[in-house]
Amino acid sequence: MDYLTTKQAAEKWNISPRRVQVLCEQGRIKGAVRLGWAWAIPKDAEKPEDARRRRKLKEKLR
């Protein structure tokens, strides 16, 4: 399986590398594994949905 670095995933998803690290730490990127100080993200991993968006949708449904 091919992997991406946090920097490569950030460029692919148009977000900051730090945000990718946080998503990995929270377990929101499926298949991401920590290798020492770096994260290995599967090349076919999808960008997690923004949790703020989900919250707004819940509020609209109320």
* Element containing residue 33 per DSSP (H, E): strand 33-35
As a whole number of angstroms, the distance between CA 2 and CA 21 comes to 18
Beta strands in 1-62 (DSSP E): 3-4, 33-35, 38-42
Residue 46: count of CB within 10 angstroms of its CB: 9
pLDDT at 14 over 90: yes
Parallel/antiparallel/unpaired status of strands 38-42 and 3-4: antiparallel
Predicted confidence (pLDDT) at residue 8 exceeds the cutoff of 90? yes
* Domain residue extents for the chain: 3-42
Residue 20 pLDDT > 90: yes
pLDDT digits (tens, 9 = 90+) for 31-54: 999 999 999 999 999 999 887 777
Whether 29 and 48 have beta carbons less than 8 Å apart is answered as yes
Q: What is the mean pLDDT of the chain?
A: 91
